[in-house]
């Protein structure tokens, strides 16, 4: 099984068994039933994993990112940034560039992602729902700056949040960490729709 298939299987398992009952239900969200081919197009072209309806009947779009317990020491939520070695030029610029989603659902689980360890996944150590429109507006106004730096964590300077581009070990893609407590210290609950365990 490929690494992508393993990660996809882990994400799908967490979505169904943890995210929906723990996060989505607490947000009064229900997932819209959309054909898999349509969802795949949304994922590839707009960085969207699910379309939801909230308690007021409003429709919104959501990408999800989940991690296993190994990452529990980190206080950031991550979003894919670039895939420089993707053979398809349209897929080099990843979720951060093409995102048209409303909310990022990010969670760190209490168990392991491997298939034979799925029984250990029973809860989240921490989770957060981030307002991606808020984050994009901070990026456009240069209050959030993406940097190529040797640092791996965000830092703040004079009211600006600096977030480094980090690379996965196999260099297949890069991602941006958004430090949740640091965002809170700069912008309060503005970018944080709901969370547990980060603050």
Residue 163 is assigned to a structural domain of this protein = no
Rounded-to-integer distance, Cα 142 and Cα 29, Å = 32
Are 145 and 163 in contact by the 8 Å Cβ rule? The answer is yes
Q: Which residue has the tokens 């990408």?
A: 63
In a domain, 110, yes or no: yes
Say if 81 falls within a structural domain: yes
Query: Is residue 82 in a domain?
Result: yes
| Residue 56: inside a domain | yes
- Coil, strand or helix: which one is 21? helix
Alpha helices in the chain (DSSP H): 3-14, 25-27, 36-46, 95-98, 132-140, 180-187
Does a structural domain hold residue 77? yes
Neighbours of 120 (CB within 10 A): 14
- Element (DSSP H or E) covering residue 177: strand 174-179
Q: How many domains does the chain have?
A: 1
Q: Is residue 117 part of a domain?
A: yes
Query: What dihedral angle (degrees, nearest 10) is formed by the CA atoms of 17, 21, 27, 30?
Result: 80
CA angle, residues 183, 141, 27, in degrees to nearest 5 = 45
What is the Cα–Cα distance from 167 to 186, expressed in whole angstroms? 26
Alpha carbon distance 189, 130 (integer Å) = 10
8 A C-beta contact, residue 38 and residue 145: no
Residue 169 belongs to a domain: no
pLDDT tens, residue order, the chain (199 aa):
455 556 788 999 999 999 999 999 999 999 999 998 998 888 877 778 999 999 999 999 999 999 999 999 999 999 876 544 444 444 444 445 556 789 999 999 999 999 999 999 999 999 999 999 999 999 999 999 988 877 889 999 999 999 998 887 666 677 889 999 999 999 999 999 999 999 9
Domain membership of residue 94 as a residue range: 3-132+189-196
Q: pTM for the complete prediction?
A: 0.87
């Amino acid at each position: 099984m490929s690494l992508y298939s393993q990660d996809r299987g882990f994400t799908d398992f967490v979505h169904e068994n943890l995210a929906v009952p723990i996060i989505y239900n607490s947000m009064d969200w229900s997932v819209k039933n959309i054909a898999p081919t349509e969802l795949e197009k949304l994922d590839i072209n707009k960085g969207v994993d699910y379309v939801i309806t909230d308690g007021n009947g409003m429709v919104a779009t959501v990408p999800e990112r989940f991690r296993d317990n190994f990452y529990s020491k980190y206080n950031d939520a991550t979003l894919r940034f670039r895939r420089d070695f993707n053979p398809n030029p349209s897929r080099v610029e990843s979720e951060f560039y093409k995102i048209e989603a409303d909310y990022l659902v990010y969670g760190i689980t209490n168990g392991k992602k491997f298939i034979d360890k799925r029984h250990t996944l029973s809860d989240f150590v921490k989770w957060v729902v981030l307002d991606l429109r808020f984050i994009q507006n901070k990026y456009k106004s240069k209050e959030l700056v993406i940097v190529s730096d040797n640092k791996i964590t965000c830092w703040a300077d004079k009211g600006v949040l600096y977030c480094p581009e980090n690379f996965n070990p196999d260099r297949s893609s890069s991602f941006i960490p958004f430090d949740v407590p640091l965002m809170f210290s700069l912008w309060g609950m503005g970018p944080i729709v709901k969370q547990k365990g980060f603050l």
